[in-house]
Structure 1
């Protein structure tokens, strides 16, 4: 067995995560892939095509749709939310820009459990408008901000967000098993997440994020389910700017704009929809280059891409199963990414 497989097996044996699927590769080939553990307590073993709740790894995929609109001249980064969403006109949030939403530098707070008081999609979206504004101009990770971005994309395209992503991203990249709200027939190969006290049941095949539940499972900040193969296709597209057919996916200029660090002088490193690599404590570990970028998800998922090394690493776990009271994933991710770089260097030497 490989060093990476042995490492992840050890984390499962110690009860730090219940399962993992992973894939590491370059724009030209897969270097290593593997599966370990069970879908959930008392369930079958995970497979290479097992679907995981991506949680916030949804965000950069939604941001890709925004960048496609930018490339097509349908939006500008300095456009304000009030340009597209009438409910923001004549409010204190009217001047928030798409750039601020993408870099998490807007005045919209994040990680607010709006589902506790908002019981419908309409109520939750209205609650975001009515939230108090934050005054600092630093980076504050805001799921609510990306919810707003998703609404803007829907307004511009005149279609639900799931349909927009299917047409703009999933079909061109042949990401055929990436979706919101997977049908029940697929539940037998979807990793369990958490026993949800709010819903009073173990969650399998439903979005884990509670705000996303109120939004119907289709929204900008969370809700996508996918597997390692589809996410590898996404990574290769980011490394090559090409679709599955070899057509242009993103122009080199737009790809560079999206993935560079836009907040180098602030508290956290952010691209446009992506996390850039922080100097200290990055989930990408110590060996991924300073130009690398990626995103993590609360459920235990992550995607990281290093254009300098022509390398990507995808790790999908359901670390919140059976409970979110488990923070081992932070050190696991860093070690996994360090081992991914070591693997790529050994392959290059070999």
Structure 2
């Protein structure tokens, strides 16, 4: 059986991406490898403490922050969000998912905190990106691959969202991404504090996640990786350099995918979830909240409608939950997600395992890249 270094090196050596970091932890045993370099120029070798744009594995972190507010009684799962997000007080809904954006009906129920946490608010991406109501999500809200310096500030972003119809009625189905951005805005408005400030005080500092933020300061840029997509010749094509879009604070800190982090930082978060909300002797969340986060809340029909997004998986709060064994790495109850910048992080409560792989190559669609699949296969083979 190939070891972790070989698993990563197989892909890096082909020139498809400059480097990667992989981590598999079970209890006190941590296996971590860093291969390749931080960029295609080989400016510096990849390190275990290299910093990556983690994209959508931001989502579980932001969902955990929302659950903190629920536990404090500042919001409730069944609360309509319009009291904090008045832009969503009277949303319209396209008559059918394929209808033009001006063929709408009123929403029959309010959008609730529960709808946001479960990505069932009615806003977001379906399996068919060609639907008319999807286009303004990309053009006006800058959804898609993260581009933090292009997204307007939260109030302007919310105003734009209020002019876009929902794809379906609140609570009637799962759609990807926007609910997590709305969670970030919700946290800021409920607390009266910027999202980065709240996350730093309530999660990152207590958990020792020293390199997790929405911006990379100048004294850490030497550890920050460049970000690529696959170019026309098949090799990596630069999207964002280390001193690019994440070198200054964004106007819109994206709860759906704006964070940078390291493998060891996300490990601290994952271990907190495995310990049912406790870290370093401190209670961050109750066991009930963690179980609610990491449980599947989707019906079989909702999972089927998600298509490739959720093959064999359901959805909890901020992350997917394995419900079927379709591949060797699927374990019922495994919770986590992937990031469009080439990242993946999961916890498996039944084995006490945290698995994290961070790379720099943008995913080309909802199907999982070969590197991720090989990493998951390796992690599954390491199970006790």
User: Which interval holds the TM-score relative to the shorter structure?
Assistant: 0.7 to 0.9
Q: Distance in 2 between matches of 1:9 and 1:207?
A: 28
Q: Tell me the secondary structure at the aligned position of residue 206 of structure 2.
A: coil
Contact 2:122 2:174 in 1 (8 A): no
The corresponding residue for 2:284 is 249
After TM superposition, list the pairs within 5 Å mapping 1:116-265 onto structure 2. 120-121=152-153, 122-135=155-168, 137-141=172-176, 143-194=177-228, 202-204=240-242, 206-207=244-245, 216=251, 218-265=253-300
The corresponding residue for 1:279 is 324
Q: Does residue 1:20 correspond to 2:20, yes or no?
A: yes
Q: Distance in 2 between matches of 1:214 and 1:303?
A: 25
Residue from 353, 368, 375 that aligns with 1:336: 375
Q: Tell me the secondary structure at the aligned position of residue 257 of structure 1.
A: helix
Residue 326 of structure 1 deviates from its aligned partner by 8.8
* TM-score of the aligned structures, taking structure 2 as reference length: 0.78
Structure 1 range deviating more: 29-38 or 101-110:
101-110
Q: Any unmatched runs of 5+ in structure 1?
A: 346-350
The corresponding residue for 2:60 is 60
Residue from 323, 342, 345 that aligns with 1:300: 342
Residue from 94, 108, 115 that aligns with 2:123: 108
For the aligned residues, what is the CA RMSD?
2.9
Contact 1:286 1:334 in 2 (8 A): no
Q: Distance in 2 between matches of 1:196 and 1:153?
A: 35
Change (3 A) 1:325 1:277: closer
Contact 1:180 1:217 in 2 (8 A): no
Q: Distance in 2 between matches of 1:201 and 1:98?
A: 34
Q: Tell me the secondary structure at the aligned position of residue 35 of structure 1.
A: strand
Q: Any unmatched runs of 5+ in structure 2?
A: 93-106, 126-133, 144-149, 232-237, 304-309
Q: How many positions carry a matched residue from both structures?
A: 331
* TM-score of the aligned structures, taking structure 1 as reference length: 0.85
Contact 1:292 1:305 in 2 (8 A): yes
